[in-house]
A and B are shown apart, each in its own frame.
Chain A
């Protein structure tokens, strides 16, 4: 083979790569653009609605069980339960499931709330590990149950909570999260609007930087930690992207494990949380789609933009990388388990839009991005790179991503009535570029290597360093 032929083949390959990336980027930027514009308009519409609804809201309620799975949460669990007891809602119960913690999670609960032992038989509708003991207490007319069980992972703990719950709907929240005082009312509203709603996702916001008292925001500013601030921008963008837009056509594939509401009966029928996956929250939602469509059950999975849950985000890069690795494995497991949804007309938009988006732009994106970097290096080596154009294009693309993040951030803070200082505005503008370039690249590499050493049955809580927060 002559050098000319080799060059010709290389050129041809690069041309194909070029076309692939053009199509890929058109798809991604269009999706991002649509999600941010549709999401922002939706938030403004909701805010307007809320202003009017303030005057017309009624005091309706649906009894709800709140399940708090906990593993080594002695630092935060009592604060979380106190915050749950301050919720403005008529009938609900709290079930804390201690998944065989090695610290004093159960003890601090029993001491703080004066809980008493009870020999509670568990209605085992979903498979889960054996309970060791059960305590209960009634505080401000709210029934609080503590179940200590053999370690089995978060999904297993959630299944135990579902088994022990007494109400027809349940909410799962993380033990380090805090619900805003009105979040139960807000998350239950879609159920009253339409009886076909089987699950509702809440809106998760980083609590780092927020001062919360009895479920009310006292003050808000961007977190001191640069990493946490960048995650705030990232959360806002991704919530607008994969939540509000997909919600428009009943295509949400994720309801965050930090705050989601589900119809118990349907979850039990579909098999509950999968204890063998790391992304049990996503897996459950994908499973609900599949189950309802396969069984011709009319269903809606909604997203409540104004039901707010404040959750801690990692402030150390190592913790963040660990978390994202876990999320990526969970994403892979969910999509692989439910691979029959891929390009399947039976599943309609869930298959062609949601599943395809998560496959191409979430699961495969780190591989595609790194492949892109390698092909640029190859083009440079072969002297086939238009360097000024490549730089301009990268710049434009970074600016595009940054503007998207900023738009989402301002739309969210504005519609939630959070007052931002001038310093925070400047900080957000400055950090949005770092977020789309540096943080995104680091996380792309993290996700790229996440599947190495992956073991299917590994049960992992993926702990990050917790800080004691006074929510009272």
Chain B
């Protein structure tokens, strides 16, 4: 048997793999050395930055030699990482001096923008955007050139680049910038996770009322997905938007997702005008509307009263599992007594009985655990 072709190929593969083992070993050695070097660098940077910050505290300028040194060194990602770590460590003691220090250092930072972007390495660029975010938080300002970088970064294919840019935008506290960012994402149809967007908006550090008003002003220009993000954000934030929410809830032409968000809003912030609509939705057993019914049953937990209890009791007999589950959960939350529910327990519907019994068991166990604690 021969097979010289295979033999040669295997030899080549073998050589490459041996090279990889050497690469592994070299990486281990390099990373150990790098750690040691970083320790030294950390000590040096701490001393330099501390000196500059003390100078600023005393009303003087930071040392220009330090500035030149930093400008040269920040082009290396390792150095930038250590620099950020040192800045974060010193921040609690020098928070008042940080804005002035970063302002004096801004000349050194500007050339880095192009440097980190041109390498076409998303990890590097995402980290650089993170540093911008940290510095922006420390200085409390977002220079115009940084604004445009952040908006530009939203078009990056890498999620981390976009997310870091967005975080910096939220932390800027500037309403206009946040709205522009959402417009960029929406108009370019960038697939950024909706949950990340909603949660991110919650971290906005500026005037939230102003942001919500701004978002309402341009609400109709957004696509449905972004509109849901905005409604969800508003739901987590404030009870003072009932009128607009009610208008969307009433508008049957609107996308179901938008109306679901409004139903949830009125579950969190009970509203007299929304109540009859929720009751109607919870009673509507049309098959294609089961989602409206299920969410409405859940929202009715915030509306005590006989009509609510009767509606929820009727919903217990619906064939859809989610409707029954939400109705039973709401009844338990409303504290419906055994007497209120006796007709369900005495009735013929085993499914209604079982789901209600389960919720009552859960409530009983919670109370028991609370007493035990």
Contact = CB atoms under 8 A, between A and B. Distances in A.
Contacts of A44: 27
Contact of B21 (A33, A45, A119, A406): A406
B53 to A, nearest CB: 21
Given A52-B127, A389-B1, A414 B24 contact: yes
A376 B1 CA distance: 9
Contact of A62 (B9, B11, B195, B351): B195
A294 B160 CA distance: 32
Interface in A379-428: 379, 384-386, 389-390, 392-393, 396-397, 399-400, 403-404, 406-407, 410-411, 414
Interface residues of A, number: 60
Contacts of B77: 52
Main secondary structure of the interface of A (DSSP, over half): helix
A33 B7 contact: no
B81 A52 contact: yes
Contacts of B18: 403
A195 B10 CA distance: 41
Main secondary structure of the interface of B (DSSP, over half): helix
Contacts, number: 141
A393 B351 contact: no
Contacts of B163: 58
A385 B1 contact: yes
B240 to A, nearest CB: 27
A372 to B, nearest CB: 10
A56 B160 contact: yes
B365 interface: yes
Given A26-B6, A414-B27, A33 B160 contact: no
Nearest to B134: A55
> Which of B1, B81, B130, B372 counts the most chain A CB atoms within 10 A?
B1
Nearest to A425: B25
Contact of B366 (A52, A138, A390): A138
Contacts of B25: 410
A33 B27 contact: no
B79 to A, nearest CB: 13
A37 interface: yes
Interface string B65-105: 00000000000010001001100000000000000000000
B351 A29 contact: no
Interface string B238-259: 0000000000000000000000
B118 interface: no
B6 A193 contact: no
B44 interface: no
Contacts of A138: 366, 369
B232 to A, nearest CB: 14
B24 A411 contact: yes
B21 A410 contact: yes
B1 A14 contact: yes
A53 B27 CA distance: 20
A336 interface: no
Interface stretch (B145-153, B299-307, B352-360): B352-360
Contacts of B21: 403, 406-407, 410
B365 A29 contact: no
> Which of B6, B7, B77, B365 counts the most chain A CB atoms within 10 A?
B6
Given A29-B13, A119-B358, A414-B27, 10 more contacts: A25-B10, A26-B6, A52-B127, A52-B130, A55-B85, A58-B163, A118-B362, A192-B195, A195-B193, A386-B1
Interface of A: 14, 18, 21-22, 25-26, 29-30, 33, 36-37, 40, 44-45, 48-49, 51-53, 55-56, 58, 60, 62, 114, 116-121, 123, 136-138, 191-195, 376, 379, 384-386, 389-390, 392-393, 396-397, 399-400, 403-404, 406-407, 410-411, 414
24 contacts: A22-B3, A26-B5, A45-B123, A52-B126, A55-B81, A56-B127, A56-B130, A58-B163, A58-B167, A60-B199, A114-B372, A117-B361, A123-B325, A136-B362, A138-B366, A195-B193, A389-B1, A392-B7, A393-B6, A400-B17, A407-B20, A410-B21, A410-B25, A411-B20
